[in-house]
Amino acid sequence: AQTVTQSQPEMSVQEAETVTLSCTYDTSESDYYLFWYKQPPSRQMILVIRQEAYKQQNATENRFSVNFQKAAKSFSLKISDSQLGDAAMYFCAYRSQGGSEKLVFGKGTKLTVNP
């Protein structure tokens, strides 16, 4: 079974600064998808960014980018120019390419943005 590990229960960053959230995963599959989800206090799950394992290029979405290291099974999220609205729980998630589209989530990282 696949597992996702987020080793940072909490992180903080100053507004306008950059922060990196870590995620590692374990799988024997060669093709899969990785995601970062944001869960603000409203608890609505919001997709931040996703990465297909077969793509070598790191995904980017505006201020959000990932560092995907397939061999190391690492998938970190970098948030640039942090904003107060970025404060939330961030979950790293894994999904197999075939079969079920269910997600396996890490335990999450609580991000605090200080003004």
C-beta closer to another protein: residue 19 or 91: 91
30 belongs to the binding site for another protein (CB under 8 A): no
Cβ-defined contacts of 46-52 (< 8 Å, 24+) = 48/77, 48/90, 49/77, 51/75
Number of residues that bind another protein (CB under 8 A): 19
Does the protein bind another protein through residue 101 (CB under 8 A)?
yes
Distance CA 90, CA 110 (A): 6
CA–CA gap between residue 10 and residue 39 (Å, rounded):
14
Candidate list 33, 74, 78, 112; residue touching another protein; CB under 8 A: 33
Residues that bind another protein (CB under 8 A): 33, 35, 42-45, 47, 50, 52, 91, 100-108
